[in-house]
Amino acid sequence: MDSLLFLCARRIIAQRPLPSVPAGLYPVLFQVAFLDGRPLVLQDLVATWPFPVLHFQRLLGRPDVLWNRTCFGSVQAIIQAVVAQLQRELEEPGSQSSLRVLDTTRLPDSVPFCTPTGISSWCTTRDLAKACMEVSKHQKEFQSCGSKPHKGRSGADMVTAAPQAPGVDIHTDLYVSGTSCWILHEALQAGATGLLRLKCREFQADNLSASKIVTLLESLDPSCLRRVCLVENFLGLKGLLEILPHLSRFPELRSLKLWYNCVDLWHLTPESTTGICCVAKQLGMLPSLREFSLGSSKISGNLRQILSDLQAPLESLELAFCSLIPDDLAFLSESFHAPAIKRLDLSGLDVSQGLLEPLRLLLEKTSASLLYLNLMDCHMNDSHLDALLPTLLRCSRLRYLRLHGNSLSTAALKDLLQKTLELPDIHKVLYPCPVDCYKQQPPESRRKFVHDRELFEAAVAEFSQILANSGRTDLIWTCTPIGCEALDYFSL
């Protein structure tokens, strides 16, 4: 049920033009107009925004609102209102707005939606880049017109009489692919001297060459970037060595994720051995780095060399499907990273290949700090879980545990549930469908196993009963991966 304040705000935004209201009412009016999908009202509010900063996430408070496909029209209206305001400031120097920063961080990049002609989409990065280009074009046209004589005043007088407006910085997360690469590059270059400037906090590049990634990185403001995520760019060790030297210009870079980039260190050559040393040296030149990911890279036995030059301990380490061997886990256990790790992703670790004891020792060393643990697809059976459980219970701060993709029975999962109830902060456990809840398909079937619905529902009922009896209504015990993403443990 809406509060009285919200109901009153809804009555106010029903009027256009909006009546004069105190500055303190602007935030709630913005919230209501955004949630109700009132783009014209939002444009009016932005045009008279009385504060220097407009921060989407802080104003709306609920991340899920920004991921709703119906918000795209409201966001676009706000961006266009900022563009219109900057155009007015160029043409009418006395009409300056208080707004200097538009913070769109945490907005989704692509939102599909239905139109009468089919499925379309809205891309945040592309639309922000187009807005910057639009303002830059208008600025150049205005400056060009300013050099022409006006009635009663010379062009020089006009230029002198119209000082450069301060403009607006857009704090944003940029997601770039081949379709948005060049317009983003043009927008970043235009922002260097323009009135609408993109300040990137998180940069994600999908399926781009190393040279294009470098070109974009060189265009970003060094003081703003906190995260870099390179996904499916197929860089290999050579491409990685081309990119890493350009990251040292970002002193606040805290997170570097390299997913599916074909870094293969299985068959070392003198060249690749030298390359690993260069990678370590470049990582050591990132003093603020606290999160590192090498997802789906073949680094067997080389983790020590890769992380050897880091200046400070990592708090988040993702090594999913990285073909780790016991020496890699032993290094982590002995390193200064272990007591600091809050988030650990070891998905794909094959515990049946001599890795169970090294894993147990590593968890013991991280037990005082660990908040999130991902052991998905680790070839784990009941005996493995039984051996790990005492160490898991020592992780007293653990909040999230992911075990899906392992071969665990209903009995083992019941034991896990009952014992993890002892963990005071545990919030969510993602468990696999019990192996005794599958039935085998005929040999000609492409799928060897499917759920036995009755057995599975009976197991779920048992889990639910244990939770109900414990009174731990705060604990989410689920086999559905959706909504089980790792929490963001960094305040960026």
Q: CB-based burial of residue 421 (10 Å sphere; 0-12 exposed, 13-18 middle, 19+ buried)?
A: middle
Residue 210 forms part of a structural domain: no
The total of structural domains in the chain comes to: 2
Q: Which band of pLDDT confidence, cut at 50, 70 and 90, is reported for residue 492?
A: very low
Residue 142 has pLDDT above 50, yes or no: yes
Percent of the chain surpassing pLDDT 70: 87
Determine, yes or no, domain membership for 297. Answer: no
Q: Do residues 48 and 22 touch, judged by C-beta distance below 8 A? A: no
Domain end position, chosen among 113, 128, 145: 113
Domain annotation covers residue 254: no
371, 397 in Cβ contact below 8 A? yes
Angle, vertex CA 439, rays to CA 437 and CA 440, nearest 5: 145
Domain coverage including residue 79: 4-113
0.85 exceeded by the pTM? yes
Residue 275 forms part of a structural domain? no
Does residue 149 form part of some domain? no
Domain of residue 327, CATH code: 3.80.10.10
Which residue among 68, 98, 113 closes a domain? Answer: 113
End of a domain among 72, 87, 113?
A: 113
Residue 307 placed within a domain: no
Q: Given a cut of 50, is residue 151 above it in pLDDT? A: no
Question: What does the DSSP 8-state code read for residue 424?
Answer: T
Q: pLDDT (tens digit, 9 = 90+) per residue, 298-310? A: 999 999 999 999 9
pLDDT, position 443: 55
Could you read off the pLDDT of 198-231 as tens digits, one per residue? 999 999 999 999 999 999 999 999 999 999 999 9
Domain contains 72: yes
Six-digit token string for 239: 């491409």
